[in-house]
Amino acid sequence: MDLSTRYLWLDLAHPFMPGASPLDDDLDMVLRLEDAGASALVMHSLFEEEIALYAPATDQYLEQLLRIKRRVRIPVIASLNGTTAAGWLRYAMLIQHGGADAIELNFYHVASDPTEDAASVERRVVDIVAVLKESVTIPLAVKLSPFYSALPHLAAQLDRIGVDGLVLFNRFYQPDIDPIRRVAVPELHFSDSSELLLRLRWVAILAGQMRGSLAITGGVHTPLDAVKAVLAGADAVQMVSAIMTGGPGALTAVRTGFARWAEEQQYGSVREMRGAASVARGANLRDYERANYLQVLRESQRRAPIAGH
């Protein structure tokens, strides 16, 4: 079984890697992840707000990038979350000069302004990426949320300006409310396999329509989750929650279990598997649209107990 894949024009041994998280803060953990078989490493995000509050944050990030690059043989993908056009460009250039193999542009933005329409929200993303593509020479991936009103249209715009890949999807951490103090309270919940379904739908729809790569992040915990991600059309599969809760061995288990399943199904390579369940490879688009909704409703009605019986 040939597990090799190409993601952001980087040749990787297989699709499985740690996604952006605090795991890279600990160099020993980074080395354990490489030993566990990670094909690449995505660093945690450098946030522009963090830099504004704590000036040395940029230097610390670049120093950690350099330390990691000196110790590992796998590609290192930096992650950046900006708030201003100038900030995106400045810090992307610094990261490029720091030796990153690629940059994941983490667009974590909650559209809360009622005067800003959907087109303006999308235009901000496209305009920032366009500027970065003119100035940054290493590959750029755009990490999006699932909350854009016309995601395929946004993906097509990004593809036209030459983005090297999309990462689907950012997990927006939902605040809870403290009913006594009447304030928002940050909550951290690790993902589970149920979160993969949303990602499978959109990757299966977008696969084959873009020149750049597609990565799934969120909801991959088991070898079968990874199989589904690749069948949908993912070039890369990022894992965070599974590693945070199960350690680096969780990545090893997914990689080996994925290879075992694929060999049992007589696939010769990841390339052969990729996108086999995508719309571009013949899957019915209606199954990823309204037909799926209707089928689920009918099935739930069939299975639901009738009151009084």
Query: According to the model, what pLDDT value does residue 193 have?
Result: 97
Q: Is 107 inside a domain boundary?
A: yes
Q: What is the dihedral of CA 209, 129, 165, 280, to 10 degrees?
A: -10
Strand-by-strand arrangement of the 16-18 sheet: 16-18, 236-239, 213-217, 165-168, 140-144, 102-106, 76-81, 41-47
Q: Is 299 inside a domain boundary?
A: no
Report percent pLDDT > 90 for the chain: 84
Tokens 């399943």 locate to: 261
Question: What is the per-residue pLDDT across 237-276, written as a single tens digit (0 to 9) for each?
Answer: 999 999 999 999 999 999 999 999 999 999 999 999 999 9
Q: Is 290 inside a domain boundary?
A: no
pLDDT at 309 over 60: no
Q: Is 305 inside a domain boundary?
A: no
Angstrom CA distances, 96 to 60, 109, 132, 216, stand at: 15, 23, 11, 24
Distance CA 38, CA 16 (A): 6
Query: According to the model, what pLDDT value does residue 292 have?
Result: 66
Distance CA 54, CA 210 (A): 38
- Residue-range definition of the domain harbouring residue 252: 5-283
Q: Is 125 inside a domain boundary?
A: yes
Distance CA 255, CA 273 (A): 15
CATH of the domain at 163: 3.20.20.70
Rg (Cα) of the chain, in Å, rounded? 20
Q: Is 302 inside a domain boundary?
A: no
Query: What's the number of domains the chain is made of?
Result: 1
Q: Which of 52-66, 96-110, 155-169, 174-188 is the least confident region?
A: 174-188
Q: Is 296 inside a domain boundary?
A: no
Six-digit token pair at 156? 């097509």
Question: What's the average model confidence in pLDDT over 106-110?
Answer: 86
pLDDT at 169 over 80: yes
Angstrom CA distances, 292 to 192, 287, 288, stand at: 21, 5, 6
Query: According to the model, what pLDDT value does residue 308 have?
Result: 52
Query: According to the model, what pLDDT value does residue 301 have?
Result: 65
Question: What is the per-residue pLDDT across 272-288, written as a single tens digit (0 to 9) for each?
Answer: 999 999 999 988 888 88
Residue 110 pLDDT grade (very low, low, confident, very high; cuts 50, 70, 90): confident
For residue 290, the tally of other CB atoms under 10 A from its CB is 9
Cβ contacts of residue 19 below 8 Å, gap of 6+?
Answer: 42, 217, 238, 239, 240
Q: Is 307 inside a domain boundary?
A: no
